[in-house]
Amino acid sequence: MRITFLGTSSGAPSRTRNMTSIALQLPQLSKLWLFDCGEGTQHQLLRSPLKLSQLERIFITHMHGDHLFGLTGLLASRSLQNGGQTPVTIYGPGGLAEYVRATLDLSRTRLGYSVSVERLSPGTIFEDDHCRVDCAPMRHGVESYGFAVVEKDRPGKFNVDLAREMGIPEGPLYAKLKAGGAVALEDGRIVNGSELTGPPVQGRKVVFCGDTAFHNGSVELSRGADLLIHEATYIGSDAHLAERANHSTSLMAAEVAKLAQVDRLMLTHFSLRYESEGHPDLEDLLAEARSVFPNTSLAYDFLNVEVNRR
C-alpha cells in the first residue's frame, strides 16, 4: 500500500498546502482510491505520478466544502482526458448523491463512464478478495465518517521442495494445499496444507479518521492499525477552538493512536493559524503529539508513505 497526501490544509488552502485529499494506491492491482476531494485535487494529481485512469473509488468523509469541492471537476477531467471507461464508485454521507447529480446536471457535464454514489452506513461498505473497507461515525457536528482499509491475510509460503520430497504430484493438488486444504494421495495418505505452508502473512490496516473531536469510535476503528491518519487541526493550547468546531488537537490525535495501539500516526488537516506570526508552528504541534505517541509524523503535500508489512 502507498499513501500520497494531495492536500493537508483545513478550511482554506495556503501557499504550500492544498485542500484535503489523500490517495491510496494498490500497486499490485493498479488501482487508485481517494479519500476526500477538496478543491484543487485534480491539479495536485497532475503534479504527481498518480494516474487518474486508475481511479476506481472515492470516499468522502463529510459534506463540508473543503472536503468535496474538487469532486465535480475531477470527474469531468477524467472524462475529457480519456481517463478510462471504467466506472467510479463514490461513497459518502446523505446529500452526496444529490450534490453530484446537481453539479453535473447544472453544468451540463456528460461523463464518458458511469458514476454511482453509495450512501454510507456504519460497518463494512466494500469487500473483495484482497481487502475490505469499514466505516464508522465520527463526531464533527455533521454526519461524518472515518474509514479503515483492512487487507486480508495471505497464505504463508508454500514449501515446494518438501511437497516434492513427499511425492505429491505437481498441479491442482499444490493449489489446494497452498490454500490450506487437505488432499488425499493415491497411496492413501492424507496431507494437510498446514504441513507445507508457513504462517499466514498478516494483512495491513490503514485508517483515515475524518474531521472529528476525540471519541471512542475513533479508537475502535483504529485498533491495531499499521498507519493511522488523523486530523490535528489545532495545538493543545487551542483546545477551546477544537471544541467549538468539533475538531481534534494534536494531543487528541496522539491519544487515539496510543489507546488504539497503532504502529504509526500521521497528522494532517492543519489550521492556517500555524503559518502566521504570533502563533505556534507545526513543529510545536508535532512535539506535543510525540509527548504522547512518539511514532508520529506531520503530513505535507505530495508526501509519499509506504505501508510495509510488519
Q: Is 66 a catalytic residue?
A: yes
Please enumerate in sequence order all residues whose Cβ is within 8 A of that of 5, keeping only pairs 6 or more positions apart, or say none: 22, 23, 268, 299, 300, 301, 302, 303, 305
Cβ-contact 225, 253 below 8 angstroms: no
Cβ-contact 138, 144 below 8 angstroms: yes
The single residue of 36, 66, 226, 301 carrying the catalytic annotation is 66
The C-alpha cell 481487502 sits at: 131
**Listed residue (116, 136, 140) closest to 125, CA to CA:** 136
Concatenated DSSP letters for 4-59? EEEE-BSSS--SS--BSEEEEEEGGGTEEEEE---TTHHHHHHTSS--GGGEEEEE
Element (H, E) at 209: strand 205-209
Cβ-contact 148, 125 below 8 angstroms: no
Alpha helices per DSSP H over 107-205: 160-165, 172-178
Kindly list the catalytic residues: 66
